[in-house]
Amino acid sequence: GNSVTQMEGPVTLSEEAFLTINCTYTATGYPSLFWYVQYPGEGLQLLLKATKADDKGSNKGFEATYRKETTSFHLEKGSVQVSDSAVYFCALSSTGNQFYFGTGTSLTVIP
Amino acid sequence: DTEVTQTPKHLVMGMTNKKSLKCEQHMGHRAMYWYKQKAKKPPELMFVYSYEKLSINESVPSRFSPECPNSSLLNLHLHALQPEDSALYLCASSHPSTGKNEQFFGPGTRLTVL
């Protein structure tokens, strides 16, 4: 079956620190992989995506590479800002119009 | 237009009330979704509509009744809810062509059941 395992939070970092949030997946077939971000009181926003092995998704300084050999899609950012404080969800989509979400990782960035 | 809109933003209702949540998109997407999200948890899928037909119902209680009047609109009718149904209700849409496309989410309706 399909599932996503995501690093447990919460994560607290100082401004300008390096961020990694781990995500691994189990899937039948060849899924697409996503990172979504949810700011307090809002819906989910697509942060980045990758649709095939070795693709790198990037947006707003965040990056993640689709690694088929390790079934991973870790989220990284070189220098976080206070405005990056949010909950981050890793997700996969395989055939059938269904998404599978990780449990979410809460990030707090302190000045 | 790359937006999914939801109304109302907040809703407070008693256990005997009947209310509806509305969702709209004009991106030409033919798959639409309802999710329920509790605090600090991932969204839980409730219903999926594909080409205006209900394709997935994740064993949701009958006090939640979805409706897809046309390709742009999605409603969720609520009746006789329980306090544990209080949550953020999210609507999303996507292209259903491959089933692997990103979903676009609305801002959600914050529902409180008294």
Q: Which among A31, A87, A97 has CB closest to B50?
A: A97
Residue B2 predicted with pLDDT over 80: no
Q: What is the pLDDT of residue B99?
A: 60
B2 touches chain A (CB under 8 A): no
Which residues are CB-contacts of B56 (< 8 A; sequence separation ≥ 6)? Answer: A97, A98, B45, B47, B48
Going by pLDDT thresholds of 50, 70 and 90, the confidence category of residue A15 is very high
Mutate which of B35, B100, B109 to test chain A, going by most A C-beta atoms within 10 A?
Answer: B100
Q: What is the pLDDT of residue B40?
A: 86
- 3 state SS of A50: strand
- Chain B segment 12-41 residues within 8 A of A by beta carbon are 31, 33, 40-41
Which residues in chain B have Cβ-Cβ distances shorter than 8 Å to A45?
A: 105
Q: What is the mean pLDDT of residues A3-14?
A: 93
Residue A109 per-residue DSSP state: E
**Quick one: what percent of chain A has pLDDT higher than 70?**
99
Going by pLDDT thresholds of 50, 70 and 90, the confidence category of residue B97 is low
d(CA B62, CA B80): 10
d(CA A106, CA A21): 10
Q: What is the mean pLDDT of residues B32-37?
A: 96
Torsion of CA B13, B16, B18, B19, to 10 degrees: 10
Q: Which among B40, B100, B105 has CB closest to A44?
A: B105
Judged by average pLDDT, the poorest of A61-75, B9-23, B91-105 is B91-105
C-alpha dihedral sign at B9, B64, B22, B33: positive
Say if residues A104 and B42 touch (Cβ distance below 8 Å). Answer: yes
- Chain B segment 58-87 residues within 8 A of A by beta carbon are none
Q: What is the mean pLDDT of residues A3-8?
A: 92
**Min Cα separation A35/chain B (Å):** 10
Mutate which of B35, B102, B109 to test chain A, going by most A C-beta atoms within 10 A?
Answer: B102
Give DSSP secondary structure letters for B48-65. EEETTEEEEE-S--TTEE
Residue type, A1: G
| Model pLDDT for residues B60-94, shown as the tens digit of each residue | 999 999 999 999 999 999 999 999 999 999 999 99
Q: What is the pLDDT of residue B1?
A: 63
Going by pLDDT thresholds of 50, 70 and 90, the confidence category of residue A41 is confident
Count of H-run helices and E-run strands, chain A: 0, 12
Which residues in chain A have Cβ-Cβ distances shorter than 8 Å to B101?
A: 32, 93
**Quick one: what percent of chain B has pLDDT higher than 70?**
94
Alpha carbons within 13 angstroms on the beta-carbon side of residue B70 total: 5
Q: Which among B48, B99, B107 has CB closest to A42?
A: B107
Say if residues B44 and B92 touch (Cβ distance below 8 Å). Answer: no
Say if residues A65 and A56 touch (Cβ distance below 8 Å). Answer: yes
Which residues in chain B have Cβ-Cβ distances shorter than 8 Å to A27?
A: none
**Min Cα separation A93/chain B (Å):** 5
